[in-house]
A and B are shown apart, each in its own frame.
Chain A
Amino acid sequence: MAEHAGEHAADYHEPHIVPVGTYVMVFVALMVGTALTTWVSYIDLGEWNTIAALAIAVCKMLLVVLFFMHVKYATGLTRIIIIAAFFWLGIMITLTCSDELTRHWEIVPQGWTSAVHIARQLF
Chain B
Amino acid sequence: MAATHAHPPGFAHQFETVEQQREAGHLGMWIFLATEILFFGGMFTAYTVYRSLHLPAFIQGSHELIVKFGATNTAVLICSSLTMALAIRSAQTGKSKRTIILWLLLTMALGAAFIAIKLRYEWYRDFVEGLIPGVSWLSGGTHTPGVKMFMCFYFFMTGLHALHMVVGLGILTVLVIMTARDRFSPGYYAPLEISGLYWHFVDIVWIFLFPLLYLIGGRY
Contacts and interface: CB of A to CB of B under 8 A. Distances in A.
B113 to A, nearest CB: 16
A43 B86 contact: no
B145 A54 contact: no
B89 A4 contact: no
Contacts of B33: 82, 85
Contact of A9 (B19, B52, B220): B19
Nearest to B26: A78
Interface residues of A, number: 65
Interface size class of B (residues with CB under 8 A): 35 or more
Contact of A7 (B17, B37, B44): B17
A18 B208 CA distance: 25
A68 B202 CA distance: 13
Interface of B: 1, 3-8, 11, 13, 16-20, 26-27, 30-31, 33-34, 37-38, 41-42, 44-45, 48-49, 52-54, 57, 67, 71, 74-75, 78-79, 81-82, 84-86, 89, 92-93, 144-146, 148, 193, 196-197, 200-201, 203-204, 207-208, 210-212, 215-220
Interface of A: 1-9, 12, 15, 17-18, 20, 23-24, 26-27, 30-31, 34-35, 37-38, 41-45, 49-50, 53-54, 56-57, 60-61, 64-65, 67-70, 74, 77-78, 81-82, 84-86, 88-89, 92-93, 96-97, 100-101, 107, 109, 111-114
